[in-house]
Structure 1
């Protein structure tokens, strides 16, 4: 979707945002957007970590992994 914008389009969007929000409000909006992305990444990493921990607790998965390791060694 955004791959067709290019540098001129991005500059145009930034100029319009600067006109609408003003130079004082724009850094605050950028900071809030950055914090939102950081929280989203940490929540996503938390979900992935939980899935990995649950797989380690599941005995069926560990036996399958052991069988795969034995077959690769042989």
Structure 2
């Protein structure tokens, strides 16, 4: 993460936080089948507001995110 500026670091941190919150929200739903033992995996989300589209595109170019289309981005393991 040394190649990121401060705004990119904040955006990536906010993205990870929103991804985790979305995953926790999905896991806590009562409609999920608890007997199967399987968990749903959230793969792509819309980025949190407060950062311009250019920031997300820069993170895609740097290899931190993948643009899944429709305004959704996926976190890549780096």
* TM-score between both structures, scaled by the size of structure 2: 0.38
TM-score by length of 1: 0.39
**Greater relative contact order: 1 or 2 (C-alpha under 8 angstroms, separation 6 or more)?**
2
Q: Which has the higher helix share?
A: 1
Structure with the larger strand share:
2
